[in-house]
Amino acid sequence: MQSEFCFIRKSIVMRFHSPQNLKTIADFIDAKFIGSEDFEVLGTNEIHRVQPGDIVFVNHPKYYDKALNSAATIILIDKEVECPAGKALLVSEDPFRDFNKINTHFTRIYNFTEELHDVEIGEGTRIHHSAMIGNNVKIGSNTQIFPNVVIGDRTEIGDNVIIQSGTVLGGDAFYYRKLNGNFDRLISVGNVIIENNVEIGNNCTIDRGVTDSTVIGEGSVLDNLIQIGHDTIIGKRCLIASQVGIAGCCILEDEVTVWGQAGIASGVKLEKGTVLLAQVGVNRDLTKGTYFGPIAEDFRAYLKKEVKVRNLK
């Protein structure tokens, strides 16, 4: 049965303020271009979220086909290859570096170094004086922000939201490459969206998207000490218990329940209504069901296996 889950993006974060063209971008990063010089460029995006008009980068032959056949229409690549019909190439000696260069040119990174603000706050919202709020933040009505909460640039928070003490919304994405023996960061210029009627516990960390949004869906409830990685989408009315770790680019459909200390690997999708019991490890997409074990198994199958193992003794 096909899933009914559908995420409709509320804001297209890494879209340029005005359309650019291929030659302008190529000149800016000193890259060769393949395609018409006036080919329209609307923004950038990470491979999991690309759409027409986006630049996506690829710097390893293993991923060439995925990038070239994605919805992105401009591919920033480290080798000249055959260009698919209707698309354009930017050929760069270092696509990772130049993706950063483009993103930080069109989106200014402040990281609380300048208090420019431009914050919208709805009626009836209460924010403790110790909370730290970044720039271009939107907070809805009747929302409560507890002490020592940090809200990063471009974060959007809905109505009737509760965010308890010590939580950080919009920290940097955990996205690196190894370069000359060191770790080189992919700079994240996305944001976090918290929809209406969400409750977030103490000391949670929700990273902003690389070029898009990390989303917590309407009516979802998060316990304390939860980590959610960049560009992950949590659906509506999900329940997530303490010490859960969810990596980047995951999708949890509506009404998913995740119990304590479960861990979910990058890029995993959980179908609507799925339940993960405590300390489950998830390394693949899961259909609706209840799962347990270090490598997620159907709960009943796991119990039967345990009974058989014990009977061998």
What are the contacts of 242-247 at 24+ separation with CB within 8 A? 242/201
Task: Give the three-class secondary structure for 45.
Answer: coil
Here the tokens at position 102 are: 């483009």
| Residue 246: strand pairing partners | 228, 264
The DSSP result for 251-305, as a single string, is: EE-TT-EE-TT-EE-TT-EE-TT-EE-TT-EE-S-B-SSEEETTTTEEHHHHHHH
| Residue 184: strand pairing partners | 177
**CB neighbours (10 Å) of residue 297?**
15
Q: Report the catalytic residues.
A: 230
CA angle 236, 267, 189 (to 5 degrees): 80
